[in-house]
Amino acid sequence: MDDTGTNSVETSSEEALSSDLVKENQSTSPGRSVDARCVQCDECSKLRLIPTEELYEEIRSRFIEDPFVCSKLPNVSCDDPGDIEDYDSTWTWAFDKPNLPKTPPGFKKRLVLRKNYSKMDCYYDAPNGKRLRSKAEVSRFLDKHPEYKKDISPSDFSFFSPKIMEDTNP
Ligand SMILES: [Zn+2]
């Protein structure tokens, strides 16, 4: 876990502070997404599974100014054993970036693992079902649907794709 859990405020993907997990499964169907999300405690360095995507996004959105500690989870403290001992190829791991914007209400962010494990593709599904694959598409969408503009701007979207750790590929 060399790249994680530091106090660094670096925001490059190399210094990602929180992580997404893609659980290994035997299915050959393409398009696997994120099965579980975990973050590392700033105090004890243990890995904690975060139960919902919403909570994960909340923690990630303020990760630099408000580092994660175990006590942020209900009934959990640094004295409790970690949820995951270490990362290995039981799971395919992808490292996320801190302080990404929370997904705007009504939108759904999708991260889909390519079949060859090379990378995850990132896109958003808009409330009307329109799929947005880039900031340019977000801008065009907002121009076409100005009703969203009072609450949402292109900076609320990030197309950063978590970096797959090659040594955890099957
Ligand atoms: Zn802790």
Q: Calculate how far, in angstroms, residue 70's C-alpha sits from the geometric centre of ligand 1.
A: 4
pTM of the model: 0.80
Q: Calculate how far, in angstroms, residue 3's C-alpha sits from the geometric centre of ligand 1.
A: 17
User: Of 10, 54, 34, 31, which is closest to residue 115 (Cα–Cα)?
Assistant: 31
Lowest-pLDDT choice from 5-14, 22-31, 81-90, 108-117? 5-14
Give CA–CA dist 124/76, Å, rounded: 32
Residue 152 dihedral angles phi and psi, to the nearest 5°: -130, 140
Q: Can you give the residue ranges of every domain in the chain?
A: 14-168
Q: Calculate how far, in angstroms, residue 50's C-alpha sits from the geometric centre of ligand 1.
A: 13
Protein fold of 14-168: Methyl-cpg-binding Protein 2; Chain A (3.30.890)
Q: Calculate how far, in angstroms, residue 7's C-alpha sits from the geometric centre of ligand 1.
A: 14
pLDDT in tens, 131-158: 999 999 999 999 999 999 999 999 999 9
Q: Calculate how far, in angstroms, residue 117's C-alpha sits from the geometric centre of ligand 1.
A: 31
Q: Calculate how far, in angstroms, residue 10's C-alpha sits from the geometric centre of ligand 1.
A: 21
pLDDT in tens, 70-114: 999 999 999 999 988 766 667 788 888 899 999 999 999 999 888
